[in-house]
Chains A and B, each alone.
Chain A
Amino acid sequence: GENVEQHPSTLSVQEGDSAVIKCTYSDSASNYFPWYKQELGKRPQLIIDIRSNVGEKKDQRIAVTLNKTAKHFSLHITETQPEDSAVYFCAANTGNQFYFGTGTSLTVIP
């Protein structure tokens, strides 16, 4: 089955700086890669996603890049704000199944 690895597990940045989270996957059949933000005790919220036919996607301060050859994808958050502090999960979708990374706890220091 699919194996998704995510790094780093924790990340602290100063407000205004950029944050980058990286994920790798193993199944070349995976074709959809969403990123979720989860605040403590709440449901994961989709923040951005990318499909395998696209290399990069941007939505305001958030961007995702995908390298299918290397089987890795990354989340980039620019101009970070304290409200960006949360746990972020990447996921890879193959067919009818989603496999999640282990999560990155992001702390933005005011």
Chain B
Amino acid sequence: GAVVSQHPSWVICKSGTSVKIECRSLDFQATTMFWYRQFPKQSLMLMATSNEGSKATYEQGVEKDKFLINHASLTLSTLTVTSAHPEDSSFYICSARDGGRLNEQFFGPGTRLTVL
């Protein structure tokens, strides 16, 4: 149980285009989903916390107009990187919190974004 999927696993796009990444909880309802960014050999940086049906809470320094987050249902959250630039290239990982299991979060497999 507690499986989180992420799609796509790898995307290459041209500078200026927008990219949407999906995060799904497959066998539980995720009241909260988190989006992280990870650079090579570095830690996970929390970008935003999204709650179903409400606006995401962004961490300081993260542009909300650049990284659009939608948490439309209890099993799906999307991150859209708008007008992507090479500096947006990174590993993006989502995680989901199972409301039935106190505190725990379960990670998706990550999406590697490369912006040319």
The chain A residues found within 8 Å of chain B, CB to CB, are 1, 31-32, 34, 36, 41-46, 49, 51, 87, 89, 93, 96-103, 105
**Chain B positions 60 through 79: 1 when the CB is less than 8 Å from some CB of chain A, otherwise 0:** 10000000000000000000
Q: What DSSP secondary structure best describes chain A's contact surface? A: strand
Distance in angstroms between the alpha carbons of A92 and B34 in the assembled complex: 14
Any A CB within 8 A of the CB of B19: no
A89:B43 contact, CB within 8 angstroms: yes
Identify which of residues 34-51 in chain B touch chain A, using a CB-to-CB cut-off of 8 Å: 34, 41-46, 49, 51
Identify which of residues 64-116 in chain B touch chain A, using a CB-to-CB cut-off of 8 Å: 93, 95, 97, 102-110
B42:A97 contact, CB within 8 angstroms: no
Closest to A45 in B: B107
B104:A46 contact, CB within 8 angstroms: yes
